[in-house]
């Protein structure tokens, strides 16, 4: 190589590094304004989120935030909320709590977002609760069913969205008790609050000693053969899965390889049929008979007005991406956030948004009620069971609601609301 070229390359790479260093230590000059609300101007409100766009939990989940953004784009195209367009900053944390720390700090301190919306993951979001609290950032509609979000005294700005995992565990166990009585029930859960809360719910209904074998998995280890092997050896007939989609698929695939065919009862966060079918590829028929739960309209109910609305928005603003349960979920989150902004009024502040959520009374796509109040920061309060038959996932039976304590599992009979004519909520 020529001396000149060598030197040129070296200088170029050094300059590149120096520029990064300068960029790192430079001042953006955007000091905090006077009494202005972070992330809010007369024409714009900026919110951010952390999502696993890569990594072990990205299967399926990576489509949630783009769907939420698509719904916001639709609302923006229809004039926004109180004249403000919604800007949604999506950060990838790879489902790694360490990265979540970094990206959430970037959103709050550098991008100065108004709120964090729908941050995904139990282990990831748990680590930023204190940071968001000490910076007084509204932490809305966390994408996880951990009970940690429902602590109004400790975390006044944090609100859940998903039905909590204990409620879900109770509903799944209730199904097992009624329809699979006398069969040996086993449990596989993620090794964090997600799995623990879910197991607590299952044991509340079935009794403390009723779960024959309890196994856990970690997302960094994609081998669940030991756990599934233990189930097979113990002769489990029913396996409850508190798993993210990738590990639902992995468990069902591994079981098939071992010649083990129990009745699967799967958490709503890991039971979306299109996502699982895509993961399993040619082995998708293994999903036949799987019982799952959900609380939003099923993605294949083409007669449902919500699904029609979301399909239309998906075509117009999301590049017609494959439509699945994650799309429905993401857009439902977007709808709820727009309702919240509307309820908070034209003069938008962080306090007003939190008040608006606590006031509750939101009617949306959900099949069960949202429980928000000053005393309750958990999200949806129940679920409905679904089953895969003939390669199609569909609801059966009534919707159920229950609490996270020892309350009974009751049927919930109210009819869901219909969407507004143009798909944008109006002040209720």
Q: Which residues bind another protein (CB under 8 A)?
A: 1, 6-7, 9-11, 13-14, 16-17, 20-21, 23-28, 30-31, 53-55, 58, 62, 66, 91-92, 94, 96-99, 101-102, 105-106, 109-110, 122-123, 126-127, 130-131, 134, 191-193, 216, 218-221, 319, 321
Q: Which is nearer to another protein, 73 or 401 (CB)?
A: 73
Other C-beta atoms closer than 10 Å to the C-beta of 183 total: 13
Q: How far is the CB of 119 from another protein (least distance, A)?
A: 14
- For residue 318, the minimal CB distance to another protein (Å) is 8
Question: From residue 5, how far is each of 2, 16, 140 by CA, in Å?
Answer: 5, 16, 54
Work out whether strand 410-412 and strand 238-242 pair parallel, antiparallel, or are unpaired.
unpaired
Give the contacts of 126 (CB within 8 A, at least 6 positions apart). Answer: 97, 146, 148, 192, 193
Closer residue to another protein (CB): 124 or 332: 124
In this structure, what DSSP letter does residue 375 have? S
For residues 240 and 202, the answer to whether their CB atoms sit within 8 Å is yes
Nearer to another protein, 4 or 208 (CB): 4
Least distance to another protein, CB of residue 134, Å: 7
Q: How far is the CB of 155 from another protein (least distance, A)?
A: 13
Residue 419 near residue 306, CB atoms below 8 Å: yes
In the complex, what is the shortest distance from the CB of residue 325 to another protein, in angstroms, rounded to a whole number?
18
Judged by beta carbon, residue 74 or residue 380, the one nearer another protein is 74
What share of residues in the chain are helix, strand, coil (percent, to 5)? Answer: 45, 20, 40
Q: In the complex with another protein, which residue's Cβ is closer, 9 or 414?
A: 9
Beta strands in 179-230 (DSSP E): 185-190, 211-217
What is the distance between the alpha carbons of residues 120 and 62, in angstroms, rounded to a whole number?
10
Q: Which is nearer to another protein, 91 or 344 (CB)?
A: 91
Residue 413: count of CB within 10 angstroms of its CB: 7
Cβ neighbour number for residue 90 with a 10 Å cutoff: 18
Ranges of H-type helices in 26-121: 58-61, 64-77, 97-105
3-state secondary structure of 171: helix
Beta carbon nearer to another protein, 54 or 410: 54
Q: How many residues does the chain have?
A: 428
**Shortest distance (Å) from residue 233 CB to another protein:** 21
CB of 342 to another protein, least distance (A): 27
Distance CA 182, CA 261 (A): 17
**Residue written as tokens 């698509």?**
70
Q: Which is nearer to another protein, 30 or 413 (CB)?
A: 30
> Which of 16, 374 has the CB closer to another protein?
16
Question: CB of residue 126 vs another protein: minimum separation in angstroms?
Answer: 6
Closest CA to 204 of 239, 166, 162: 166
In the bound state with another protein, the residue whose beta carbon lies nearer, of 25 and 413, is: 25
Nearest approach, Cβ of residue 234 and another protein (Å): 22
Query: By C-beta, is 26 or 209 nearer to another protein?
Result: 26
Q: How near is the Cβ of 25 to another protein at its closest, in Å?
A: 7
Least spacing, CB of residue 382 vs another protein, in Å: 26
Q: How far is C-alpha 127 from the chain's CA centre?
A: 16
- Burial of 135-170, coded b for 16+ CB within 10 Å and e otherwise, reads bebbbbbbbbbbbbbbebeebbbbbbbbbbbbbbbb
**Long-range Cβ contact pairs of 8-16 (< 8 A, separation 24 or more):** none
């Amino acid at each position: 190589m020529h001396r000149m070229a060598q030197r040129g390359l070296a200088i170029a790479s050094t300059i590149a590094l120096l520029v990064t260093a300068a960029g790192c230590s430079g001042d953006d000059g955007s000091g905090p304004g006077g009494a202005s609300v972070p992330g809010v101007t007369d024409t714009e409100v900026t919110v951010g989120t952390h999502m696993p766009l890569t990594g072990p939990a990205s299967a399926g989940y990576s489509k949630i935030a783009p769907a939420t953004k698509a719904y916001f784009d639709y609302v923006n195209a229809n004039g926004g909320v109180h004249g403000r367009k919604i800007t949604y900053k999506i950060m990838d944390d790879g489902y790694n709590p360490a990265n979540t720390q970094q990206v959430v700090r970037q959103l709050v301190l550098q991008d100065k977002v108004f709120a964090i919306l729908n941050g995904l993951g139990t282990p990831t979001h748990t680590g930023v609760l204190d940071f968001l609290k000490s910076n007084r950032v509204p932490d809305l509609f966390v994408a996880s069913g951990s009970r940690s979000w429902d602590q109004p005294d400790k975390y006044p700005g944090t609100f859940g969205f998903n039905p909590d995992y204990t409620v879900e565990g109770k509903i799944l166990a209730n199904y097992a008790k009624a329809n699979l009585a006398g069969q040996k029930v086993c449990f596989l859960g993620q090794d964090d609050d997600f799995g623990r809360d879910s197991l607590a719910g299952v044991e509340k209904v079935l009794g403390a000693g009723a779960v024959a074998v309890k196994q856990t998995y970690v997302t960094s280890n994609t081998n669940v053969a030991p756990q599934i092997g233990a189930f097979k050896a113990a002769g489990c007939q029913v396996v409850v899965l508190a798993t993210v989609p990738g590990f639902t698929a992995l468990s069902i695939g591994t079981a098939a390889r071992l010649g083990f065919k129990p009745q699967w009862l799967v958490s709503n966060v890991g039971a979306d049929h299109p996502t699982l079918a895509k993961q399993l590829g040619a082995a998708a028929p293994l999903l036949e008979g799987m019982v799952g739960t959900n609380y939003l309209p099923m993605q294949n109910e083409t007669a449902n007005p919500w699904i029609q609305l979301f399909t239309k928005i998906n075509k117009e603003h999301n590049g017609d991406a494959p439509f699945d349960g994650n799309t429905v979920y993401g857009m439902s989150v977007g709808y709820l956030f727009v309702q919240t902004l509307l309820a908070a009024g034209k003069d938008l502040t962080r306090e007003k948004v939190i008040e608006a959520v606590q006031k509750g009374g939101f009617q949306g796509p959900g099949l069960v009620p949202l429980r928000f109040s000053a005393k309750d920061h958990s999200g949806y309060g129940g679920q409905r069971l679904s089953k895969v038959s003939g390669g199609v996932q569909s609801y059966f039976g009534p919707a159920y609601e229950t609490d996270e304590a020892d309350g009974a599992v009751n049927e919930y009979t109210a009819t869901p609301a219909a969407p507004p004519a143009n798909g944008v909520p109006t002040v209720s």
